[in-house]
Amino acid sequence: MPRLYLIPLPLAPEALDTLAPQVQAVVATVDYVLAEELRTARRFVSSLKTGRKIDQIPFFQLDKHTSQADLAAFLKLVQPTQTVGVMSEAGCPGIADPGALAVQYAHAHGWEVVPLVGPSSLLLALMGSGLNGQGFTFHGYLPVKREEAATKAKALERTARQTGQAQLFIETPYRNNGLLGLLLTHLQPDTRLCIAANLTAPDGFVRTKKVSAWKTAPPDLHKIPVVFIIQ
């Protein structure tokens, strides 16, 4: 049967040492690549120095605009002895990532699914936050409109207070500072807020403080990947 590998990419381009050695071995032999961003995937494959020529590897873009029909048409080309690798823009495919569509197809058609070890910004953020790692929920992106985002943030805060569960969410990097300002305006002063920024990069950090403390010196989060956690 065909085999689908879920291939993690480093969170920071220079952090190749955060990947398991198995990743390089799989990339060296995979027959096809499904990638959220083709340029990033090709650059990543080149950086591993497997000896393979990029133009000899068939790449297919799998992003939020890819239809299930187009994906199925591509995957039907895969022969029983062949392998397909799924790559996210960064981190682990299938988590907050359109790669889950390929995994659904694989399970529906009896393929073997093999997730490889690699960095997950969500788990790294939670590990370093000191917040509840026994009970937590990831909500993806908050609404784009400011009023709706404020309403959602306050609802997550209420849930965190009622259940004790950590509430994780992310934002498009260029809107991080706007979201942070919104959180500091609308959340209660004693709510704990973790900011996990640019993880695995030399300037990355994970810090948890009460909202009241963040207000005194909010960090600049513009255009860097961030995971927010409240509890």
What top-level class would CATH report for the domain 3-115? alpha beta
The CA distance from 105 to 68, in Å, is 9
| pTM listed for this prediction | 0.92
Residue that has been written with the tokens 């917040």 in this structure: 131
Q: What amino acid occupies position 120?
A: S
Domain extent listing, the chain: 3-115, 121-230
Task: Return the pLDDT at 52.
Answer: 86
pLDDT digits (tens, 9 = 90+) for 34-81: 999 999 999 999 999 998 888 889 999 999 999 999 999 999 999 999
- What is the mean predicted confidence (pLDDT) over 140-148? 95
Residues forming beta bridges with residue 86, ordered by sequence position = 6, 34
Query: What is the helix (H) or strand (E) element at residue 60, kind and residue range?
Result: strand 59-61
Considering only CA atoms, which of 72, 73, 41 is closest in space to residue 57? 41
DSSP secondary structure letter of residue 55: G
Domains 3-115 and 121-230 share a fold: no
- The pair of three-digit structure tokens given for residue 231, joined into one six-digit string: 């509890």
Is the domain covering 121-230 a CATH 3.30.950.10 domain? Answer: yes
Half-sphere exposure of 132 (CA within 13 A, CB side): 16
Task: Return the pLDDT at 177.
Answer: 98
Task: Return the pLDDT at 150.
Answer: 97
Q: Are strands 205-210 and 192-197 parallel, antiparallel or unpaired?
A: antiparallel
What is the CB neighbour count within 10 angstroms for residue 141? Answer: 14
pLDDT digits (tens, 9 = 90+) for 69-95: 999 999 999 999 999 999 999 999 999
pLDDT digits (tens, 9 = 90+) for 172-186: 999 999 999 999 999
DSSP secondary structure letter of residue 33: E
Query: Measured between alpha carbons, how far is residue 132 from residues 121, 167, 220 in Å?
Result: 16, 9, 26
| Residue 176 and residue 145 in contact, taking contact as beta carbons nearer than 8 Å | no
Task: Return the pLDDT at 13.
Answer: 87
Task: Return the pLDDT at 217.
Answer: 94
